[in-house]
Structure formats: structure tokens, C-alpha cells
Structure 1
Amino acid sequence: MGDSRIPDDHITASSQYNWVDHAPWKARLTTSGHSAWCSKQAVDPTPWIQVDFSRDLYVTGLVTQGRDIQYDQYVKSYEVAFSGDGQVWRPVTNASGTAIKFAGNTDRVQRTTTKFDDVLRTRFLRIVPKEWNNGCCMSFEVMGCNRTELKP
């Protein structure tokens, strides 16, 4: 996401606090300053942010970070869902079929890397924050590759 191969309009969310500083595309991990995606908590009790890769990719994990600068806002835990069409979503689950709650950040500055147990082949990836500190705000990068980059 950080290299802008994914267009801004392919990063969408359930809501956003303020278009200028907190739009979904501000979730790019390379965005500097105090910008990050932030949900509009007063009207969005179950926020999410998602990426449309435009084609199937292999996703292996995420790197997350909170809202930097003066605000102590970050996502403490989240679930991940994926979809081939953007309509039907499947959660990332453990062996018993229960949605996995991934550990997020413990502060607004440090980056947290999460590697999935299984590689996801998907066109859409959705992050569903479950707990946050002082506000549901985050930046992230998707780890993975397209099929031509996989080695036999």
C-alpha cells in the first residue's frame, strides 16, 4: 500500500472521522504526520477498513501502527476477513473455525507485525478493529505477493 500501487479509492472504510486527515487512504503506513484512518465512533460501533487489490493476491500478514504525533490512539486488537467479490466475507479462523482476534498495537508509535498461519488468496482484505485506545485509528501495510512472485 505504501508505494501507492493500490489507488486511494480502493481503500475504503465503514466510516471516517474527518475527510482531510482521517480518510481510509490515510491508513497507508508511510503516511507522515498525524494522519491515519480513524472511524467516526459516534455513529460506527463496529468499524472496519478494507482494501481492494483489483485481483487475487497472496496475503501473508499485516504491519499496523497507531495514530502518531500527539494523539494516543491505536487499535489494540482486530479480526481479519477476506473476500473474492467484496460481498461475501470469510473471517480468518483457527483450526476450530473460530475467528482469530489478532493482537494489535500497545502504543501509538511502535509497529506491530502479524503473520497469518495460512496464506490467504484474496482480492479483498478487511480489518475489523475490536478494541482500541482513545479512538479507533490505524495505519497498516499488507504483506504478501502476487502469484508470479511465489517460488515453487
Structure 2
Amino acid sequence: WVAENSDQTPWVEIDLLEDKLIGGVVTWPRGDGYKEHQYVKTFNIQYRAEGEAIFEYYMESGNIVVSTFVGNENVQDIVLNGFPEKIIARHVRLNILTFNNNPTIRLEILGC
């Protein structure tokens, strides 16, 4: 997934087609040898279950601050971000906070 260069608040949403128990997310940088190294450095997660109208931000229990996840720092490494507290969701949204060159990400949502 690659955001438009003009997008000031890039995000990508995954529809899992039904509610799933989710335990984390794996991210990769752009992997096609493109000369400009492109990857997402930090992001947060929003999610909602089937039938829910409003997205919730992922926060660890007892915390009033939205969790910020560290993504990639280079074009070689894969990054696993496990959720200390699992979520149930059909829709998972990654809001890109910081990135290198352009918001570009490959990702996998981890089920339990």
C-alpha cells in the first residue's frame, strides 16, 4: 500500500469480512528495490467490530493515551508488533504518523 504524496493524514484499512480475534500486526518496508527507501516509522491502530459505527483507538488497559507502535527503521527488517491485549474486530485501520520519504507499507494482521 502506498499513500498519495498529497495525503496529509494517510491511513489504510483492512476489512476482515467478519469479526476476528487479533493479536498484532507485522509490517514490511517497500520491497521492490525502489531507489527511495520508503517505509512507515510509527503508526496507531483503530478498530471496530461488525455492526459498530465508530472506530476505537487501541490503548492498553488502564491507559488513557493512544498506543503508538514503532514500525520499520530500514528497508531490510520485518517488524512484529504484538498486542498485549487482544482485540475483536472486523475492520482494522493503521493511521500513519511518521514515515521515510513516502507512506508505504506492507502488512499482515495476526489472528489468534
Normalised TM-score (structure 2): 0.90
Code of the residue aligned with 1:40 in structure 2: it is E
Say which SS state the counterpart of residue 126 (structure 1) adopts.
Answer: strand
Q: CA deviation at 1:109?
A: 2.3
Opposite residue 57 of structure 1, the aligned amino acid is K
Taking the aligned partners of 1:55 and 1:87, their CA distance within structure 2 comes to 15
Which residue in the other structure is 1:19 paired with?
A: none
Alpha-carbon shift at residue 87 of structure 1 (Å): 3.7
Aligned partners of 1:86, 1:134: CA distance in 2, in Å?
35
Report which structure shows greater RCO (CA 8 Å, sep ≥6): 2
Identical columns (%): 24
1:57 equivalent in alignment to 2:20: yes
Instruction: Measure how far apart 1:41 and its partner are.
Output: 2.4
* Cα-to-partner distance string for 1:21-47 (whole Å, 9 max, x where unaligned): xxxxxxxxxxxxxxxx110021x1111
Aligned to 2:4: 40
Greater helix proportion: 1
| Superposition misfits of 4+ residues, deviation over 3 angstroms | none
**Equivalences for 1:83-98 in 2 at 5 Å?**
83-84=48-49, 85=51, 87-94=53-60, 95-98=62-65
> Given the alignment, which residue of 126, 129, 139 partners 2:93?
126
Q: Say how many residue pairs are matched.
A: 108
1:62–1:114 Cα contact (<8 Å) kept: yes
Equivalent in the alignment of 1:25: none
Name the SS of the counterpart of 1:137 in structure 2: coil
1:82 is aligned with what amino acid? Answer: Y
Aligned-residue CA RMSD (Å): 1.3
1:87, 1:39 → 2: CA distance?
A: 24
Structure 1: 5+ residue stretches without partners: 1-36, 146-152
